[in-house]
Structure 1
């Protein structure tokens, strides 16, 4: 445990130069050197990746609405060339490939759209998304070679024609990304923009990825950055790489030299690894919403890890939060679409699985990260506009390096008069000790704020946003030791704060304010909130302080309804639907009475049905290796899985619509086949495998088989952050197979009145 004898100090820092305005974009979506404006109003957008090609079209609407319920404001999606034009000739935009219909579904879900058109995308796809015939063409790929540009021109022409009905009218497509992870071809990116524009592929702004010190054409594209807690693209025995660890610290460096480094062929760059503040604000498009696995390295990223990285970026000055992925998916059966050694990549990826351990999994299930990020996004929705006027300042005492586990990691965003203190005191693998005697001394333009009155202990795992000198409804809040979550309109404004673990949420009001306090929720499960009613001659404010134990269940909807519910609260007018619930009845906060009121009726109960399993072939002893490429272990083939894997037959005849097949297993590789044809797979890293039954397309007479390949003690496979935190099981085990459907609640004021 660490303690500090003196207060932790930071001085608010003014903007280094005037704001460039107008910046990039148009009146509906503008990017200046400091911030983003939506229809002229400062906002802090939150984008999240969903690949429409990896999610069944029938599920697009639900997934998009779950994203919106998680606080996402824009959906981002790749358009993979190889899916649409596998052979020369007319491109296919039917069914699952209908990009325009996906944009329409996003608009219906009240989401903006970012289209990443490549033409080289990566996204863990074969050839980076090039069709095989393009990959094999005698051209200089990803350059201004006229022969290559002719291929791109034809593709962009067909994509532009397909999207013409969307882009030619008022629409929600705010950005188009050109190329991906291209480091030394700024003239080529400028040419791609020209070709895209010629074919009607026009949005408010164009963007490009900027990590790896990429050289980009200034003034044409907005550079976007990334940050992952861990990644599959490093060697199996390389440990927890510094390029991952640094994202758990507060800093003003936005470049990440590690993302895509395994595919980088050039060390040329055009920047010093920082964003260009004279032109652009710091913005991201690939904060790790999770992580997929390669055969040789299989990271395990927790929800707290994901939330800590995202939280640190907000404190560091983020003007746009973007996640990759926010919704997981799967490659459909048929052609092998994934990145692999066979196509010259250093990583073997699962043939089907792209769940990514995302906040919304491939089966539509919610993970811990969903609730943690939802709270951050609610804060950005209600306070992001204010935050865009606050540059980030780092404290006087900074960590001495990536191994420093005693110096508190924090930052101040302030306009010199008011501000928010961000603490991000969490990292995986190497735990952080609690920090005692924490007190802040903030040097603002005209005053010094020291708080809290008495030093507190910041526990390991804390991510906090504490307000300083803010005014709400005419009531001044000097400071609070609870995180800002939401501010709702009403007869009396309601400020929602969340307590940190082990710290009593205190609020210091400005002088002349009378305060009364009441406990909210005397009975389980919604127990322990407090309501402060602050009144003065100049205004009124209610403050609802949510205990730490309830923060993961809190939703404050865009219309200001305060709900406690396990799951995702989807708002459609006055009707709320709670998806992925554990069956606990939701409660809504009533401001007049200051109490929680039970709401809604159950539309579906949680259901668990055991799958009848018949064991057939036992596992055979596997080889120590299935080969390697660039020093990385190669994955076994389907023939290897059949030869060495244990086999079970699964009886899914008791499945109903909406069921998810949930499999707990141990081994190396698992594969599901329907009537002998592989349709799903997973590389083991300790995660439970969830597959929607309808994705299996198994008829009543179909034979569904699970094969599990055992590991070998000499396998060069890394599991966990350090590549050594877990061992590859040397047995093939099926622990459990069940059909699961989760509870759903509907809160409809009309039905409750009747």
Structure 2
């Protein structure tokens, strides 16, 4: 692949890393399902992904979305995959097409249209009857996408089927069929978890890693398959992913065995948990730090490709398309909601994990060409097992001359304590480096990558206890580092170091200690070499953005989500004018950016700002008390049906102003079991309660300004067999009787702002 067959102008593979234009890179791919997102919002969401350091967007081609009736495939509107590929290219993103035909994705029939699911064939095999069904679908995809594939295309990979464990010959058949229809890319992939048997040399094996999941029982403990991802390891298989579906018709079942990366290909992932979907019986809620910890560990483990599922959430395009008990699955998923608690939620709003991940991605963009060449090494002293909460978790990636120490001391569910008296002794070709100068305590929540023998601008840094973020170039390079909360910042170098008086000290020769309560700029000079260090305190780390979509790498500070438009101008969608500052290396300081509101809709007035105001609510209409159970399948609780919601739900009508001052969202603070929003009597959105607020993109759902809105909330019975996150579970325990509250509903109207 990519070298002798299906060569590409930019992308190729070695057995250790991916090359982009002949340069080693570590790509970052994020999943966004175009058919779950309105076409009018594709561009902005893709650009927000790009501002998070994502370089590749992955997407399923969900067959049931396109061809519910045999012989009538549709690629119109939100289903226009060719337009999506072109939109991604305009946003500076390459594309991975996950063409199936079976995808899962928490979709009914795993994405098969009903007429395919019901066909009397051996699904997902080389049964001629099954291939007769698949061939026209691939032909239809080829008609749409073949003109966009090829040597210069931004389509750089195609995934065949998904979670297929025991049909390597069928994967090879699908690859041949795809290529025959013009679906050509330099890289073909297949998921490798669960000990999957793959056609040797035909596909790049891809792995995953979720720190929690909905697919275990409600009373199940934090499963070992989740817990292992908070440790550094060289075993890439995750046998837990999809394990609950291996008894589902059409899915083979086999024993899981640990699987190491192929000797022929780099270690690569496509499903690091960017969040987690919510099932009725189990509602995981990974924090931004948990998501970042798993991703960080994979980099330390030697990842050559960081791939997230999901990176941008969405909404199912029609009723009844979700995985559910009614269609034979062990889990009931929301009918519409596919927010996934992703870095970019279903409404298009950035969440906490975006900040934590984008710092890692900026690091990969700046140093991936070095890191890709460095294999991973684990220390001699490793944690004894997944219950070990005392042994520090760390790993080394090094080429022998230089390297990076990765430290992750973060996990959910099981509390950790600070690790005292930590000092590393790392042996490379030139000898052993011991750092920091004196042992330190590593606080809970530390996620760090510290450099060893890093050379930049003719200056040599022996080590630094702060994490490099990016490099800015002017007359001489500026290395941007982010301090870790509670970790003293020290650096060792033979260079002369100058900085603000009182913030820089020299406790011993060649070692510099820095106070990083505020932004600090240091100047280093070593012979003719010069290097500027910009140290960012941990307190403002989540406000840092590194943007490079406009062709020049830019460092910004903004509490609001920002992205670059087609002209490279900084944009933000906020109620009020965003406060955005840009660092100018030549001046050594941050300066304010001038921004102005953009009229993105015909009825918006550019002179007006957005607003947030309480929605007008009617008095509630109460239903009958909820039962403790709505049924079950395979021991897992079933979600209430629409009839149940109508019978047991408490309802409010919501009145909104008819004038408009920006893109519209509802922000709902609520407590209960299940909520549904109706527009003019039609259900358009739903949510299972997990203690978080619910943000609904009214424009994303195509809801008219004058629509009559009704919110229905079903109370949560105290004996309902559902697993809740800790805070939600505590509130449930503190309440006697069914749990129900509507605490607030706000309308948020946010126009688009653009750099002047």
Partners of 1:262 and 1:535 in 2: how far apart?
58
Aligned pair partner of 2:73 in 91, 97, 105: 91
Report the equivalent of 2:689.
684
Contact 1:119 1:179 in 2 (8 A): yes
For residues 468-487 of structure 1, the aligned pairs below 5 Å read: 468-487=452-471
The answer to whether 1:570 aligns with 2:563 is yes
**Which residue number corresponds to residue 275 of structure 1?**
261
The residue that corresponds to 2:523 in the other structure is 533
1:561 and 2:569 matched: no
Offset, 1:536:
2.5
Structure 1 segment 247-258 matched on structure 2, within 5 A: 247-258=229-240
Which of the numbers 473, 483, 502 marks the counterpart of 1:499?
483
Under a length normalisation based on structure 2, what TM-score does the superposition of the two structures give?
0.92
Secondary structure of 2:65's counterpart equals helix
Equivalent residue, structure 2, for 1:641: 645
Superposed CA offset, 1:425-477 (max 9, x none): 00011121011111110011221111111111110000001010010010000
Larger relative contact order (CA 8 Å, sep ≥ 6): 1
Which stretches in structure 2 are left out of the alignment for 5+ residues?
504-515, 598-607
> Which of residues 694, 702, 705 in structure 1 aligns to 2:710?
705
Mapping 1:353-432, distance limit 5 Å: 353-432=337-416
SS of the equivalent of 2:54 reads: coil
Query: What is the CA–CA distance in structure 2 between the aligned matches of 1:412 and 1:318, rounded to whole Å?
Result: 12
Check the 8 A contact 1:290/1:356 in 2, yes or no: yes
Q: Is the CA contact (8 Å cut-off) linking 2:658 and 2:705 kept in structure 1?
A: no
Q: Which residue of 1 aligns with 2:629?
A: 625
Q: Which residue pairs with 1:674 in the alignment?
A: 679
Q: Which moved more, 1:430-439 or 1:120-129?
A: 430-439
**1:601 CA displacement:** 2.8
**Residue pair 1:113, 1:173 contacting (<8 A) in 2 also:** yes
Please state if 1:55 is matched with 2:15. no
Q: What is the CA distance between 1:254 and its match in structure 2?
A: 0.5
Secondary structure of the residue aligned to 1:518 is coil
Equivalent-residue separation in structure 1 for 2:707 and 2:277 (angstroms): 30
Pair 1:193 & 2:170 matched? no
Give the 5 Å matches for 1:75-154: 75-154=57-136
Q: Distance in 2 between matches of 1:479 and 1:700?
A: 57
Maintained 8 Å contact 2:472/2:585: no
Partner residue of 1:234?
216
Q: Does the 8 A contact of 2:691 with 2:727 survive in 1? A: no
Residues 241 and 725 of structure 1, relative CA distance in 2, 3 Å threshold = farther
Q: What is the number of residues matched between the two proteins?
A: 721
| Deviation string, structure 1 residues 690-731 (Cα, Å, up to 9, x no partner) | 111224444455321011001112211111279966638723
Q: Distance in 1 between matches of 2:462 and 2:576?
A: 39
Q: Report the equivalent of 1:590.
A: 584
Shift of 1:231: 0.6
Q: CA RMSD in A?
A: 2.2
Give the match's secondary structure for 1:659. Answer: strand
d(CA) in 2 for partners of 1:319 and 1:168? 23
What CA distance in whole angstroms lies between the structure 2 residues aligned with 1:23 and 1:466? 39
**Which residue of the other structure, out of 270, 280, 304, is the alignment partner of 1:295?**
280
**Mean CA deviation greater in 686-695 or 564-573:** 564-573
SS of corresponding position for 2:663? coil
Pick closer, same or farther for the CA change 1:389–1:123 going to 2, 3 Å.
Answer: same
Relative to 1, partners in 2 of residues 1:37 and 1:193: Cα closer, same or farther, differing over 3 Å? same
CA distance, structure 2, for counterparts of residue 582 and residue 726 of structure 1? 34
Q: How far 1:140 sits from its partner (Å)?
A: 0.5
- Aligned-partner Cα distance in 2 for 1:215–1:441: 40
Instruction: Give the match's secondary structure for 1:436.
Output: strand
Tell me the CA shift for residue 574 of structure 1. 5.2
Change (3 A) 1:330 1:595: same
Pairwise CA distance, 1:38: 0.9
CA distance in 1, matches of 2:207, 2:163: 10
SS at match of 2:474: coil
Distance 1:156 1:707, change over 3 A: same
The runs of 5 or more residues in structure 1 that have no matched partner are 1-19, 749-754
For residue 421 of structure 2, what is the aligned residue in structure 1? Answer: 437
Aligned-pair distance for 1:205? Answer: 0.7
Q: Which residue in 2 is equivalent to 1:286?
A: 271
| Map of 1:461 onto structure 2 | 445
**Residues in 1 aligned to 2:712 and 2:48: alpha-carbon distance in whole angstroms:** 32
Quote the residue 2:749 is aligned against. Answer: 741
